[in-house]
């Protein structure tokens, strides 16, 4: 047990400076799980051995992580994976994809300091990556790009880089350039010193691929044409604005690019080194009034994700909070800024499994998991000591799924209204209304359909209201800036206008085509894209 008085002896700023807190943004199947595992295992090998060695590690699946955690001291939760790499503590936050893609996936990005955009070399930018990148851009999160699966036939490296510029206006700044086209991967040219890094395949997939450095002359002599081509292409890109500049990365308008293969562990060490050397460390966070709270101010954190157990017999609710300032010590009593009530954190450890020493204390950049946290909501601020602090509330994002909710039984209207209001205020789903539909039939809006499942389940189990959902055909939402133009869109045929509780009028369209037609017919119509709310 550490007394509060001892906190001042801890070098909070130094501890924060050792942290790198990031998330991977990608489309399903780009290799996020493979890369996550490769990063964690690679870091482990380096940290334990102090040098790369070829010890083969079995390529397990994510469910093996608990065993891995015990064997290797890696701490994993459903929200964050923490591991050391040399002196650095890496916090890798999960961005659930596939069927779990939801508003939570976006909210995770409010808790990171940087992101790794993972691209499949054969596919480039894909829809989910684009959506997540949009959120990063809106929040000014610096992005490192990792082009994965270079061991397989794919697109040209230059073409992939062009796509970043043309589709998302992101200047690529290659730190490595692949030698050998996709599928014929021999290694990379280190763009900063011009050397050749040759990767060696290790049987069964090693935890750390063997690497060998060759001078440019040696590479030219050994590799010949592929080397010359790589050098030419990399120089071409550098000459057209792709010269590496760390300031532009931190300003989030250019992205360091690395090429590799997560499954073969090629380029994984390089990515870890870039995270350590270039990725931003935690900085003082601005509160709702725009004031920054110093890293070494007393403890503060904000809740970015709340996970409610779907099993009604276990009303387990876990709140995940990112530490913004001070030291978190398990057992400390903190204040919830939203309610002003105290919150005891004695259960902070449980969620992290058996060996919890790492989570007895947490520093800025770390994620804490609080179980039995039924009083906590996404967006809540927790703090200790003075001054009090409240971080900006939860942002809302552009929804893509819409359903009308109605109670399945008559006579439950009051509970239904109460339940809907509660779920809306917790951010489980967005709740939209219009005069046309009336209060008895609110429209639930979500980023991913799983949010509807959670809402229906909670209305049933917590509020005793079974509900029926009728899905609406809309997929595209825009902000309607001028209420006078409501009647243009609110036709109820291929478009409609609904209002969100934060006062935003959402213009919904069946698809992009319907929106385009509307804009052609009404050139004066002003709609803007919705990304994140005023977070
Ligand atoms: P996620 O959906 O993004 O988490 O993707 P996974 O990590 O599950 O990977 C999807 C598929 O791509 C799996 O079959 C992986 O083995 C494969 N994969 C991942 N990384 C690579 C890579 O670097 N090269 C090749 N050839 N396959 C990969």
Q: Is residue 481 part of a domain?
A: yes
User: Are both 235 and 358 inside the same structural domain?
Assistant: no
Q: What is the pLDDT of residue 61?
A: 31
Å from CA of 34 to ligand 1 middle: 6
Does ligand 1 lie within 6 Å of residue 128's CB atom? no
The reply to whether 364 sits in an annotated binding site is: no
Q: 5 CB contacts (<8 Å, ≥6 apart)?
A: none
Ligand 1 atom nearest residue 97's Cα: 2
Q: Is 95 annotated as a binding residue?
A: yes
Instruction: Mark whether 361 and 431 lie in a shared domain.
Output: no
Q: 283 and 271 in contact (C-beta within 8 Å)?
A: no
- Does residue 300 belong to any structural domain of this protein? yes
Helix (H) or strand (E) holding 519: helix 512-521
> What is the tens place of the pLDDT at every residue in 323-338?
999 999 888 899 999 9
- 236 and 305 share one domain: no
Query: Do 251 and 163 have their domain in common?
Result: yes
CB of residue 33 inside a 6 A radius of ligand 1: yes
- For residue 126 and ligand 1, the question of a CB distance below 6 A is answered with no
Tens of pLDDT, residues 493-534: 899 999 998 889 999 999 999 999 999 999 999 999 887 544
Distance CA(333)–CA(122), nearest Å, equals 51
- For residue 267 and ligand 1, the question of a CB distance below 6 A is answered with no
Which of 383, 411, 430 is the C-terminal boundary of a domain? 383
Asked whether residue 389 is domain-assigned, the answer is no
CA-nearest residue for atom 18, ligand 1, is 31
User: Does residue 476 belong to any structural domain of this protein?
Assistant: yes
Among 29, 31, 60, 206, name the best residue to mutate to test ligand 1's pocket (greatest count of ligand atoms within 8 A of Cβ). 31
Same domain, 515 and 377: no
Helices (H), 383-490: 413-426, 450-463, 486-489
Closest ligand 1 atom to 261 CA: 23
Q: Which long-range contacts (CB under 8 A, 24 or more apart) does 412-420 make?
A: 412/464, 412/465, 413/440, 415/463, 415/464, 415/465, 416/459, 416/463, 416/465, 416/467, 418/463, 419/458, 419/459, 419/462, 419/463, 419/465, 420/444, 420/459
Query: Are residues 16 and 101 located together in one domain of the fold?
Result: yes
Asked if residue 53 belongs to a known ligand binding site, the reply is: no
Stated pTM of the model: 0.89
In a domain? residue 83: no
243 and 301 part of one domain: no
For ligand 1, atom 6, the nearest C-alpha belongs to 31
Does ligand 1 lie within 6 Å of residue 32's CB atom? Answer: yes
Quote the ligand 1 centre to 364 CA distance (angstroms). 32
270: left (phi over 0), alpha (psi -120 to 50) or beta: alpha
The answer to whether 502 is annotated as binding is no
Q: What is the CATH number of the domain that holds 42?
A: 3.40.50.300
Nearest CA residue ID for atom 16, ligand 1: 263
Tell me, yes or no, whether 90 lies in a domain.
no
Ligand 1 contact, 189 CB (< 6 A): no
Q: What does the pLDDT read at residue 77?
A: 47
Q: In this structure, what token pair is assigned to residue 138?
A: 């809106």
At residue 207, the pLDDT reads 58
**How many whole angstroms from 90 Cα to the centroid of ligand 1?**
22
State if residue 287 touches ligand 1 by the CB under 6 angstroms criterion. Answer: no
If asked whether residues 192 and 271 sit together in one domain, one would say: yes
Please tell me if the CB atom of residue 24 comes closer than 6 angstroms to any atom of ligand 1: no
pLDDT at residue 319, rounded to an integer: 85
Is 96 marked within a binding site? Answer: yes
Mean pLDDT by 10-residue block, N- to C-terminus, for the chain (535 residues)?
Answer: 50 96 96 89 63 33 39 52 89 84 91 98 96 94 98 95 97 96 91 93 62 93 93 92 95 96 92 97 96 96 80 65 93 92 72 45 90 84 94 88 94 93 90 92 94 92 94 96 94 93 93 96 93 53
Answer yes or no: is 82 within a domain.
no
Q: What is the SS3 assignment for 10-76?
A: CCHHHHHHCEEEEEEECCCCCCHHHHHHHHHHHHHHHHHHCCCCCCECCCCCHHHHHHHHHHHCCEE
**Beta carbons of 447 and 102 less than 8 angstroms apart:** yes
Query: Which residue among 249, 278, 307 closes a domain?
Result: 278
CATH classification at residue 371: 2.40.30.10
Ligand 1 centroid–CA 273 distance in Å is 22
The per-residue pLDDT for 203 is 59
pLDDT for res 183: 86
Provide long-range contacts, Cβ within 8 A and 24+ apart, for 484-487.
485/522, 485/524, 485/525, 485/526
**CB of 261 sitting under 6 A from ligand 1:** yes
CB of 27 closer than 6 angstroms to any ligand 1 atom? no
**Confidence (pLDDT) at 46:** 58
Domain boundary among 334, 353, 383: 383
Q: Kindly report the number of other CB atoms within 10 A of residue 345's CB atom.
A: 22
Q: What is the pLDDT of residue 517?
A: 96
Domain with 58, as residue range(s), is 9-77+96-106+113-278
Are both 225 and 358 inside the same structural domain?
A: no
65 and 17 in a common domain: yes
Number of domains within the chain: 3
Same domain for 212 and 157, yes or no, is: yes
- Considering the domain architecture, whether residues 299 and 422 belong to the same structural domain is answered as no
Residue ID of nearest Cα to ligand 1 atom 9: 31
Residue 519 maps to which CATH number? Answer: 3.30.70.3280
* Residue 216 placed within a domain: yes
**Which of 27, 28, 34, 62 should be mutated for ligand 1, with most atoms under 8 A from CB?**
34
Beta strands 114-120 and 176-179 are unpaired
């Amino acid at each position: 047990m550490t007394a509060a008085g001892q906190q001042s002896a801890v070098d909070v700023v130094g501890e924060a400076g050792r942290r790198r807190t990031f998330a991977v943004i990608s489309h399903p199947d780009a290799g996020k799980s493979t890369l996550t595992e490769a990063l964690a295992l690679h870091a482990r090998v380096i940290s334990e051995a102090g040098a790369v060695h070829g010890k083969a590690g079995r390529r397990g699946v994510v469910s093996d992580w608990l065993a891995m955690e015990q064997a290797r001291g890696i701490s994993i939760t459903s929200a964050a994976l923490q591991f050391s790499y040399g002196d650095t503590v890496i916090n890798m936050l999960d961005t659930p994809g596939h069927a779990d893609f939801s508003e939570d996936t976006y909210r995770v990005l409010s808790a990171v300091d940087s992101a790794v955009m993972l691209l499949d070399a054969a596919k480039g930018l894909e829809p989910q990556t684009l959506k997540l990148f949009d959120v990063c851009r809106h929040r000014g999160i610096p992005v490192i790009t990792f082009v994965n699966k270079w061991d397989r036939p794919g697109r040209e490296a230059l073409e992939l880089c062009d796509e970043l510029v043309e589709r998302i206006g992101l200047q690529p700044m290659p730190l490595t350039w692949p030698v050998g086209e996709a599928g014929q991967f021999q290694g990379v040219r280190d763009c900063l010193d011009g050397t050749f890094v040759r990767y060696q395949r290790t049987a069964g997939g090693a935890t750390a691929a063997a690497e060998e450095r060759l001078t440019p002359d040696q590479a030219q002599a050994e590799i010949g044409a592929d080397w010359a081509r790589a050098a030419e292409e990399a120089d071409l890109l550098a000459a057209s604005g792709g010269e590496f500049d760390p300031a532009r990365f931190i300003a989030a308008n250019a992205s360091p690019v690395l090429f590799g293969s997560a499954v073969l562990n090629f380029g994984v060490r390089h990515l870890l080194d870039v995270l350590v050397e270039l990725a931003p460390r935690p900085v003082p966070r601005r509160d709702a009034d725009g004031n920054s709270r110093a890293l070494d101010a007393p403890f503060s954190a904000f809740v970015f994700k709340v996970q409610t157990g779907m099993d009604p017999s276990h009303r387990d609710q876990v709140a995940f909070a990112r530490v913004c300032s001070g030291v978190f010590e398990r057992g400390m009593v903190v204040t919830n800024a939203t309610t002003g009530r105290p919150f005891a954190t004695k259960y902070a450890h449980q969620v992290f499994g058996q060996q919890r020493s790492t989570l007895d204390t947490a520093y800025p950049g770390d994620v804490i998991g609080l179980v039995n946290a039924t009083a906590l909501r996404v967006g809540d601020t927790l703090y200790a000591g003075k001054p009090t602090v409240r971080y900006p509330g939860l942002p809302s994002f552009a929804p893509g799924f819409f359903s009308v909710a109605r109670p399945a039984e008559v006579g439950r209207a009051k509970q239904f209204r109460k339940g809907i209001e509660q779920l809306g205020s917790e951010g489980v789903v967005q709740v939209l209304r219009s005069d046309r539909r009336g209060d008895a039939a609110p429209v639930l809006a979500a980023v991913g359909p799983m949010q509807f499942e959670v809402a229906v389940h909670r209305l049933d189990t917590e509020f005793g209201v079974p509900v029926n959902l009728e899905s609406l055909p809309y997929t595209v939402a825009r902000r309607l800036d001028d209420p006078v133009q409501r009647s243009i869109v609110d036709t109820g045929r291929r478009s409609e206008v609904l209002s969100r509780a934060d006062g935003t009028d959402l213009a919904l369209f069946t698809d992009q085509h319907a929106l385009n037609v509307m804009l052609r017919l009404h050139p004066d119509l002003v709609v803007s894209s919705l990304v994140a709310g005023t977070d």
